[in-house]
Structure 1
Amino acid sequence: MTTFTASDVPSLTGRTFVVTGANSGIGRAAARVLAAKGARVVLAVRDPGKGAAAAATMTGEVEVRQLDLADLASVREFADDLTEPVDVLINNAGVMVPPLTRTADGFELQFGTNHLGHFALTNLLLPRIRRRVVTVSSNGHRSGEIDFGDLNWERRAYRPMAAYAQSKLANLLFTSELQRRLTQAGSPVIATAAHPGLAATNLMRPEGRPLARLAEKVMTPFAQSDDAGALPTLFAAVRDVPGDSYAGPGGLLQGRGAPELVGRSAKARDTAVARRLWDVSAELTQ
Structure 2
Amino acid sequence: MAPLRGVLAVQGRWIGLSERHAVIGDHRWAYDEREAKVAGAPTVVMVHGFTGGKENWYPLAERLGGRYRLVVPDLPGWGESQRIDGADYGFAAQAARLADFLRHVRRDGSPIVLLGHSMGGGIAAIAAAEHPQLVARVGLIDAAGVRFQDNQFGIDVLAGENPFAVSDAASLQRYLDTVFHDRAVQPSLPWPVSEAVIGWRIRQAPFEQQVLDRIGRSDQRFLPGQAAAAIRQPALLLWCRQDRVIDPSAMALYAAQMPQAIQVSLDDCGHMSIMEKPDDVAAAVARLISQGTPR
Report if TM-score (shorter chain) is over 0.5: no
Give the TM-score of the pair, scaled to structure 2.
Answer: 0.40
Give the TM-score of the pair, scaled to structure 1.
Answer: 0.41
